[in-house]
Structure 1
């Protein structure tokens, strides 16, 4: 019983650090703070209750996973991939906090590993020159090579991948999804934000 309470306390400290120490200072999306906390505490409560009965931990954890996955799949607002990673991290912390069959040190170590991975994987300095944007160009590009060359000149960057989302030959516009790495001193914009770009005719 004492070890279970210790795991509960470690889980609460870990999810607070995950949310208020890593996610919110980096991404500032307030609405997801309560989601991460609710997922963690909810999974911790349900898995702990089912783990203490004859139902078995496997069924309890399976139900918890199914519930969280359903919430994420049926979401009404779009989530970025890093936000999905935070969801699963909060979920994993809650499951580890509910597993009384493992040692406290093992569970605490695995929780620490999750936090370290999220700290490093979501660090601003990791791949900091890489960007992802949706651009609206005021020219219709039908040639892929010309499109890439124009984007590299416009962004002062090396284009690694570009996908044409819409090509309007009547209004002469092209909507592209472009992933690139900055090489010069082009203005820095938020990754993933749509932008309008002029084309040199």
Structure 2
């Protein structure tokens, strides 16, 4: 299999990854540029390494160091990190895949299939995580769980208190929760999920989610 064919397959694969899978789902233009740039850069350098006397291990180690520096320079979600390394893997398979031939193409196809399925909006769509600030200091775990379930309208699986401020009367908590299957049903303000006791913020206070992942 000729290198030119592998390069073309890589470009098609990264275009599918970026424009058919990532961008329609997440709409972040700056990462489109990053994924394309990483892929083409890795493809070019790995192709040079494959055709020279420089050890490929040295080049792969260099890519690892550079990728860590890049990822630490900006806050990325774990999902975006996965796309980042998928683009990098496609570039490596295209640049160093001449010796393995069809195995390189199969690896590229596998990367695309896994990313398309694992990041599908319907996969585990009822499971969410949020960082929530409660305008009250809640020290009891059961009361905290009940308050969060009333606020978020789902079943709380884990609630990790990140900061409990007794002076300012606030609680910062990281929540992992699951929405019910009929989550579109509207509840009245005083209703709690079935089987739970409504324990809300005291009058005049506010409980608000500040970040979602």
Task: Indicate the TM-score class for this superposition, using the shorter chain for normalisation.
Answer: 0.7 to 0.9
TM-score for the superposition, normalised by structure 1: 0.87
CA distance in 1, matches of 2:57, 2:133: 49
CA distance in 2, matches of 1:151, 1:111: 42
Contact 2:156 2:178 in 1 (8 A): yes
Moved more, 172-181 or 59-68: 59-68
Matched, 1:164 2:161: yes
Could you tell me which residue of structure 2 aligns to residue 129 of structure 1? 126
TM-score for the superposition, normalised by structure 2: 0.82
Deviation (angstroms), 1:71:
1.8
Moved more, 25-34 or 50-59: 50-59
Instruction: Give the SS at the match of 1:98.
Output: helix
* Aligned-pair Cα RMSD in Å: 1.8
Where does the alignment leave 5 or more consecutive residues of structure 2 unmatched? 186-199, 204-213
Deviation (angstroms), 1:101:
4.1
CA distance in 1, matches of 2:118, 2:101: 26
Matched, 1:107 2:109: no
Where does the alignment leave 5 or more consecutive residues of structure 1 unmatched? 188-197
Alpha-carbon deviations, 1:58-113, whole Å to 9, x = none?
2222222322222223x1x2100010000100000000001144333111110000
Could you tell me which residue of structure 2 aligns to residue 38 of structure 1? 37
Would you say how many aligned residue pairs link Structure 1 and Structure 2?
Answer: 188
Deviation (angstroms), 1:168:
2.1
CA distance in 2, matches of 1:65, 1:46: 13
